[in-house]
Amino acid sequence: MKLQSFQPKKARIEIIPMIDTIFFLLVFFMIASLAMTTMKGMPVNLPKASSANDKPMVKAVLTLTATGNYYIDKKQVPFNRIYPELKARLAENPRLVVVINCDKQQKWERGIQLADEAKRAGAELLTIATEPKVKA
């Protein structure tokens, strides 16, 4: 009786499951990177500026909404509490960047009052948030 020799099948690498795995990793990292973006200020309609560029490293955002409410980061505060709150934060970090985030429907006088409060509290780094102008 003659026995046939055993010939194992050749191993194959399936590419379709690897493509699926890579696709799921790509989607996971895209969603994770979107979740890493944080904005500390309240959403407002910003005026456009041709010299606007990427946002600086934000540490404290002073916001004046269209309805006239004041916020420090996302915490609503009355106007008379802005100075003590900023003074305390600047005592912790003197290089704190203060961003004035003022709705374009508000009068500039109120935005200037926010800047004055920040300067009075001792802020050295002060900027005004704008949206970049869309080039036609």
- What is d(CA 77, CA 36) in angstroms, rounded to the nearest whole number? 26
State residue 49's pLDDT score. Answer: 73
Architecture, CATH, for domain 48-132:
2-Layer Sandwich (3.30)
State residue 21's pLDDT score. Answer: 92
Q: Are 61 and 72 in contact (CB under 8 A)?
A: yes
> Residues near 56 by Cβ (< 8 Å), separated by ≥ 6?
97, 99, 127
Break the chain into its structural domains and give their ranges. Answer: 48-132
Reading the chain (136 residues) residue by residue, the pLDDT tens digits are: 677 777 778 888 889 889 999 999 999 988 888 777 666 667 777 777 766 655 546 478 899 898 989 999 889 999 999 999 999 988 888 888 898 888 888 888 888 899 999 999 988 888 888 777 777 6
